[in-house]
Amino acid sequence: MSLLLSNALNRCVILRHDVSDQAPGSARTRVATTREHNPGSPRPRGVLAIFVGDAGREDRLLTDPKIKVRRVPSLLDAIALVSSCPRNPGMDRVILLSPGISHQQGIRDFTEALRHVDRSVCVAHIGPCDPAVRALVDGVVGIAMEPDELRLLVETRQEHVLPEDAVRVLASEPTRRTRAVEIGDAVLVRKLLLGEDLLDAAVALIRARLPEADVQMRSPADPATPGRISAEVQREGRTIGSLEAEATTDLETLQDHAAWLGAWLTLEARHREQRIEALTDPLTGAWNRRYFERYLSMAIEQARQARLTVTVLVFDIDEFKQYNDAFGHAAGDEILRETVRLLRSVIRPSDRVCRIGGDEFAVIFYEPRGPRVPSSRPPESIYRLAKRFQSQISGHRFPKLGSEAPGTLTISGGLATYPWDGRDPQSLLEQADALAIQSKRAGKNVITLGPGAMRECVDPDDD
């Protein structure tokens, strides 16, 4: 069976090379002919084309509304972009490598790391390349590529990619240990995707690879150790420390590992920045809807296991459109930003403020550590926090509204608590939203509580 799968894999590689090595014109002809004879065929899928480096023209691709183009400076940035963007079933992703973007070993390491992030991503080289590099990528495209040329490359690769089961079987066979496997890049990729710190794990991997060197990471403030050699570790051009090793260690080898470590720490920093950008609202700084859905799911799962509660407040600003139309978008933006600032001033550190629509916000009230010990000061109830925020909004002066503002701003919302008002993220959000609508119908400037919220979020002393 393993021999059969190996032959199948070899055949896939041959087929992929044969098709993608066609001239760009012949690739376009094949796609056009297929569509002409199959008028009922599915509409073209979307493609995210990620250019790495300066080569390649984007103008023809941008004529297709289903193709999005991004350009990044390095292979590390390409992996960071792919790993920070959730997979979209209707959008294929292609990475286009500029000539000279890296040496053969660098491209090999890149493709191996990319497989751990998303093995569905297609990698192509722009223009002619060395045969050794050509063997590492899925195809070659022209500098001025056409949309159909790009889609043919993706379709051809997908036709010949082995299913996951076959890959697992092949992976179970003894294989040549590649450089990425030897130094444990796969471990770091997993940590990167989980948002965990890489430094300690990366240094541990270097120690495992150089067991006789007694490698240590030294901060810039620490003095050098006499009788040992060192190599600077740089992240984005700035020295953040040094690798130290026994004097008998080959200096060039240590420098290679320092460069490898610096590259991973650079990737970690950029990946963290992109994750934050992908999960925050740029206008207000609040978490966005994607973060809200992920965090709420995580909080409910933790609460289910620990038998805790999770409460969601959904609210919007009454008559916000009226203020936006009368005073302009700058005033509307100020209202949204101040709303988030005021809300953060009253909630607990463990709570999350999210902007889930235009003027619609949600707050996830969740304390992972559970109730405080009996001897501690009791925390304020969630209902009291919500009412205090409601009072702050109505009493706040927004400079851009000026003296002509028609009264004060108010909010209308709904409070729903897991597990009584909803047993999963969707039902809990729907209940909180329905309660917010009920508040609107009750005359606005109201917060309506569900049965579970009445039970868990209100103290006897609350009004």
Identify the pLDDT of residue 52.
92
109: which DSSP letter?
H
Please give the CATH topology (third level) of the domain spanning 2-168. Rossmann fold (3.40.50)
Q: Where in the chain is the domain with CATH 3.40.50.2300?
A: 2-168
CA distance readout (Å), 396 to 20, 335, 389? 63, 10, 10
Task: Examine residue 371 and say whether the peptide bond preceding it is cis (omega within 30 degrees of 0).
Answer: no
pLDDT exceeds 70 at position 307: yes
Which of 277, 83, 94 is closest to 189 using CA atoms?
83
Task: For residue 417, list its beta bridge partners.
Answer: 311
Q: In this predicted model, which residue has the larger pLDDT, 85 or 170? A: 85
Q: Is 370 exposed, middle or buried (0-12, 13-18, 19+ CB in 10 A)?
A: exposed
Distance CA 299, CA 309 (A): 9
Specify whether the CB–CB gap between 414 and 315 falls below 8 A: yes
CA torsion sign for 319, 323, 329, 330 is negative
In sequence order, what are the residues at sequence separation of 6 or more whose Cβ sits closer than 8 angstroms to the Cβ of residue 254?
210, 213, 215, 229, 230, 231, 243, 245
359 or 370: which carries more pLDDT confidence?
Answer: 359
- β-pair partners for 123: 95
pLDDT at 319 (0 to 100): 86
- When computed from its CA atoms, the radius of gyration of the chain, rounded to whole angstroms, is 28
Q: What percent of the chain has pLDDT over 70?
A: 78
Give the number of residues written for the chain.
463
Domain 289-456 sits in CATH at: 3.30.70.270
pLDDT in tens, 102-138: 777 788 888 877 877 777 889 999 988 888 888 888 8
pLDDT of residue 141: 86
pTM for the model stands at: 0.54
Longest dimension (CA), the chain: 81
Checking if the pLDDT of 349 tops 80, the result is yes
Per-residue pLDDT at 128: 85
Cβ atoms 302, 240 nearer than 8 A: no
**Mean predicted confidence (pLDDT) in 280-284:** 92
> What digits encode the pLDDT tens for the residues 51-60?
999 888 888 8
Strands 216-218 and 228-235: unpaired
Q: Using 50, 70 and 90 to split pLDDT, how confident is the model at 284?
A: very high
Helix (H, G, I), strand (E, B) or coil at 72: strand
d(CA 264, CA 80): 11
Cβ 208 vs Cβ 188: under 8 Å: no
Alpha helix (H) ranges present in 38-94? 75-84
